[in-house]
Amino acid sequence: MEIKGLSVAQKYAAARPATEPEEHVGILNAAKNVALDFATALAEGEETAKAAMIGNADPHSLVTALAQTELVVETAVTVRNKVVEAYQEILRMPV
């Protein structure tokens, strides 16, 4: 039984794309999407608050918008704290 090197290399090259990982949304795109969602949630809360001040929105929608805005801000602060904590932990690692 004879195995030709070129034939094996060609078969490997042909099979390789089937084993490559699929393209997923990169971390930068995901971070961009999160930042846009954060900004959108804040803008919607602000618009509802403005509408409530001039009498165009009911108090229930104002309370709901403020609660959503508070949740978004708390989530952003928690994520920021975790990132800072991880960065500080990396700085403490011995080289």
**CA distance linking residue 35 with residue 56, whole number of Å:** 28
Cα separations in angstroms, 82 against 7, 35, 90: 51, 16, 12
Cα–Cα dist 53/66, whole Å: 13
pLDDT 10s digit of each residue in the chain, 95 long?
455 555 666 776 776 665 555 566 577 788 888 889 999 999 999 999 999 999 888 889 899 999 999 999 999 999 999 999 999 999 999 87
Buried b (16+ CB within 10 A) or exposed e, 64-75: ebeeebeebeee
